[in-house]
């Protein structure tokens, strides 16, 4: 009964490095999304997907790419990390007709 | 621009107290309002409200929505230390072809023994 699994839990990058944050869910949810959470800013939507092969931008998409090749997986790619991307990243999923999101435990990313 | 504003931003109460958390919103397309509880890690879903005046209840927690005045409240009675968390309010602003939640900044509740 894993739910939404995010890896890694922590990551430190140098400016300009790239990396992929992994997200997998085992609930057969159509909807998957990535949020970032910064102090005083709340949760902000980066990208989301309503099914395999379909992705769309959220409120703060710049600097991030996503793809959805399967229902289960929704990786988030940082192509060239910047200090402004230091944040806690949450992946969340739900059925398409529900907004009762199930969140992963988050990835704390620091870019130096 | 869609806005969701929560108040207060933080609150300290004693065990046994009753608290009321507020969430007001100004959005172009309202579908529903949701409450989440965030302890150390992942937010967990509490309630989804779509209709005005209908109270949702789960144990000591309850919530109600006023679509005319554009706000919702979350009540917690007989608070316990385990209620200490950040409570997040979100509005589903999904429209044609888009599926998005707009979150408020949260209310940090601390319950002291």
- Over chain A (112 residues), the average pLDDT of each successive run of 10 is 91 97 96 94 93 94 96 96 97 90 96 96
Task: Please determine, for residue B109, whether its predicted confidence score (pLDDT) is greater than 90.
Answer: yes
For A50, the closest chain B residue by CA position comes to: B99
pLDDT at B1: 86
Instruction: Give DSSP secondary structure letters for A7-57.
Output: E-SEEEE-TT--EEEEEEESS--SEEEEEEEETTTEEEEEEEEEETTEEEE
Collapsed DSSP state (helix, strand, coil) of residue B14: strand
Using CA atoms, how far apart are residues A57 and A34, in angstroms rounded to an integer? 10
Chain B closest-CA separation from residue A15 CA (Å): 26
> What is the per-residue pLDDT for A56?
95
CA distance B45 to chain A (A): 6
Which chain A residues are closer than 8 Å to B32 by Cβ?
A: 99
The DSSP code for A98 is -
Residues in chain B closer than 8 A to A59 (CB atoms):
100, 102
Measured CA to CA, the distance from residue B100 to residue A20 in angstroms comes to 23
Q: Residue B94 — pLDDT band, cuts 50, 70, 90?
A: confident
Quick check: A90 and B99 CB within 8 A?
no
The answer on pLDDT for B106 being more than 80 is yes
Give the pLDDT confidence of B20-64 residue by residue, as tens digits: 999 999 999 899 999 999 998 899 999 999 988 889 999 999 999
Q: A3 to chain B, minimum CA–CA distance in Å?
A: 12
């Amino acid at each position: 009964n894993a739910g939404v699994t995010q890896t890694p839990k922590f990551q430190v990058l140098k400016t300009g490095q790239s990396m992929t944050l992994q997200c997998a869910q085992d609930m057969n949810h159509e909807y998957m999304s990535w949020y970032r959470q910064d102090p005083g800013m709340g949760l902000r939507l980066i990208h989301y997907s309503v099914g395999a092969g379909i992705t769309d931008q959220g409120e703060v998409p710049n600097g991030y790419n996503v793809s959805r090749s399967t229902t289960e997986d929704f990786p988030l790619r940082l192509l060239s990390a910047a200090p402004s991307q230091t944040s806690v990243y949450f992946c969340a999923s739900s059925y398409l007709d529900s907004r009762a999101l199930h969140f992963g435990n988050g990835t704390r990313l620091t870019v130096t | 621009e869609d806005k969701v504003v929560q108040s207060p931003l933080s609150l300290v109460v004693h065990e046994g107290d009753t608290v009321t958390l507020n969430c007001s919103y100004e959005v172009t397309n309202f579908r529903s309002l949701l409450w989440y509880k965030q302890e150390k890690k992942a937010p967990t879903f509490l309630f989804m409200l779509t209709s005005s005046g209908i109270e949702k209840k789960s144990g000591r927690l309850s919530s109600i929505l006023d679509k005319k005045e554009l706000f919702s409240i979350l009540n917690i009675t007989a608070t316990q230390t385990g209620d200490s968390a950040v409570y997040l309010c979100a509005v589903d602003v999904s429209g044609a072809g888009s599926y998005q939640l707009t979150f408020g900044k949260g209310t940090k509740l601390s319950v002291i023994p």
